[in-house]
Chain A
Amino acid sequence: MPTTHSIALFGRHRGLVFGGAAIVVMLLAAFFAPLPYDPVRPSADILNPPSLEHPFGTDRSGFDVMSRTIVSAGRDLPLALAGTLVSVLIGVPLGLVASGKGKSGERTMRALDAFQAFPLLVLAIAVVTLTGNRLENVILAIAIINVPRFMRLVRSEVLPMRESRFVEAALAIGASPIRMMFRHLLPNVTSIILVQCSLSVANAIVVIASLSFLGIGVSPPEATWGAMIQSGAPNMSTGQWWVVAFPGVAVFLAVACLNMIADGLSDVTRVVTRA
């Protein structure tokens, strides 16, 4: 529970506040901002540079880049958030299970090690391609990538706690393990999970952008940042930079903000848990 003390601390962590605010603004803009043009309506104004009518220019099908950039936020960001949420909902309980006594936990971790050594992007592409080019499968791919991370995180917090004398003593006087988990374990783990969440959402945005750049998981003329970058990619060699630049900046901003949130969170939670 944030106390007044820790709220005062937020003032010192400009990165966290700025990053968080920026993401919220992006989401709000995506859903509520009035779009200057219909994002999927082609026009004859092909590859126009940024101007007063089209502040971000137009692409090779005549779409208005600004409208599409804003609308894409409404697809990419929620998708990344959903994927990460699913990863947490699956990964954390699995991590708790893997922290139980016995060798099975360790063997699971070894298997996950081998799994994570594999290029994960290729894996994501494989998953979406082979299970069908749909939104839900993108979420599945993100979950497959991130579940091991959360499992590992949870386990690394639970194990030392399991060995601690404090827990030993509490169990000895008859405290139930499940109640212990909820009252003592979860608060400590929560801060680390939150930090990893921000990082995972950032990573998910990159994965989603990469997938749509390759044409996977998106059907034209749907607007996503990756697809916009793909359509504008050949034009980078011929000088029409705006088709790639604006969605590119959007991706960069989203990821950078989430990284800042993660950094800020890890600073803040370190101070709070020490106090």
Chain B
Amino acid sequence: MPGDPAAEILGQFATPAETERIRRELGLDKPLPVRYVDYIAAVARGDLGTSFFSGRGIAAEIATYLPNTIELIVLSLGLATGLGLLVGTIGAYFRGQLPDRIGRVLITAFQSIPDFLLGLVLIFILFYLWRVVPPPVGRLSLVDARPVPITNFLLVDTLLRGDIALFASALKHAFLPVLTLGLVYSAYLAKTARATMAASLTSAQVEFARACGLPERQVLWYAFTTAMPPILTYGAILFGALVGGAAIVEIVFSWQGLGSWALTAILKRDVPAIQGFIIVAGLATLLVYLVLDLVVMVIDPRIRVD
């Protein structure tokens, strides 16, 4: 990998001797293939190495930061899915009429705004102007004491410890980042939802259901269940992408997530950290697709193995 970690660690005033020493300590003097094999062997043992910078084990760092990102993604995609389905379904049902045109404008607008920009705008409006959210200093306010971790998932831990005040504080601090990501990604989901629902609403199945006199609510439900699989798939793709893709929003809100940790690692050439991030991002994506397959199998009887 280009860029010399040893030089990064020591800064610009390092002497060649010091640089050489650090390189030997970090194992950077061994040839690339040897380093690669060593790494794979270590990962197989569960050892992801140690950060060049913090000295902590990579696994420990990931265990600290990943849960924060997971909570952010879960809440954001939850909002995005709900909002996207609503706007998309309305757009499909009233295709070509006013609600649809309004929806299409909103979708284009929110797809045109970068997530970090929306986050900053929301900070200005909701924090500075209206004072309805706490300042964006992180997951909790500066005076809140983090609970001793059980699962490392903050929201879960505060509930498990019965600390409702802290739970509320965490939720309040989560409001803006969740709203930011939720709004931006709801636009993408709405676009998909609109397309699949529109196809579903003009399908022969919906026509037959109407022709048999089923109430419109039930007809909509029929259309909905047929349209779900592509939407779920897209949601899963977004989930996997957000594990690293939420990085900039995490930075804007000091969220202490995996993406922001990975960014710092890249900027500082922290090789073990970068490698660890790649592995975790890949595993997370695989896991999400696995869950998706299971969910689709439950919903759709055609896919079940007899």
A213 to nearest B CB, angstroms? 6
**Is A239 located at the chain interface by the 8 A CB criterion?**
yes
Residues of B within 8 A of A209 (CB): 114, 117
Cβ-defined contact, B120 with A244, below 8 A: yes
A115 to nearest B CB, angstroms? 11
**Is A237 located at the chain interface by the 8 A CB criterion?**
yes
A228 to nearest B CB, angstroms? 11
Cβ-defined contact, A122 with B128, below 8 A: no
**Is A119 located at the chain interface by the 8 A CB criterion?**
yes
Residues of A within 8 A of B269 (CB): 130
Cβ-defined contact, B266 with A260, below 8 A: no
A269 to nearest B CB, angstroms? 18
**Is B233 located at the chain interface by the 8 A CB criterion?**
no
Q: How far is the CA of A202 from the CA of B282 in the complex (A)?
A: 27
Interface residues of A in 156-180 (CB under 8 A from B): none
Interface residues on B, range: 35 or more
Residues of A within 8 A of B281 (CB): 118-119
Interface residues of B in 25-46 (CB under 8 A from A): none
Which of B124, B262, B263, B267 contacts A241 (CB under 8 A)? B124
Which of A121, A131, A251, A259 contacts B117 (CB under 8 A)? A251
Q: How far is the CA of A73 from the CA of B56 in the complex (A)?
A: 43
With contacts A237-B128, A248-B121 known, is A255 near B243, CB below 8 A? no
**Is B182 located at the chain interface by the 8 A CB criterion?**
no
Q: Could you tell me which A residues sit within 8 Å of B by CB distance? A: 117-122, 125-126, 129-131, 202, 206, 209-210, 213-214, 216, 229, 233, 236-239, 241, 244-245, 248, 251-252, 255-256, 259-260, 263
Residues of A within 8 A of B88 (CB): none
Residues of B within 8 A of A237 (CB): 123-124, 127-128, 135-136
Q: How far is the CA of A232 from the CA of B242 in the complex (A)?
A: 25
**Is B55 located at the chain interface by the 8 A CB criterion?**
no
**Is B116 located at the chain interface by the 8 A CB criterion?**
yes
Further pairs besides A118-B278, A119-B281, A259-B108: 13, Cβ < 8 Å: A120-B241, A122-B247, A122-B259, A130-B266, A131-B2, A202-B112, A213-B116, A229-B116, A233-B120, A236-B120, A236-B121, A248-B120, A255-B111
With contacts A256-B109, A260-B108 known, is A121 near B128, CB below 8 A? no
27 A-B contact pairs sorted by A residue (CB < 8 Å): A117-B237, A117-B285, A119-B241, A119-B242, A119-B243, A119-B244, A119-B247, A121-B248, A122-B266, A125-B266, A126-B274, A130-B269, A202-B112, A206-B114, A214-B251, A237-B123, A241-B124, A244-B117, A244-B120, A244-B124, A245-B121, A251-B113, A256-B108, A256-B109, A259-B111, A259-B112, A260-B108
**Is B209 located at the chain interface by the 8 A CB criterion?**
no
Cβ-defined contact, B124 with A210, below 8 A: no
Cβ-defined contact, B2 with A236, below 8 A: no
**Is B211 located at the chain interface by the 8 A CB criterion?**
no
Which of B113, B124, B241 contacts A252 (CB under 8 A)? B113
Interface string of B237-280 (1 = CB under 8 A from A): 10011111101100110000001001100110100001000100
Residues of B within 8 A of A119 (CB): 241-245, 247, 259, 281
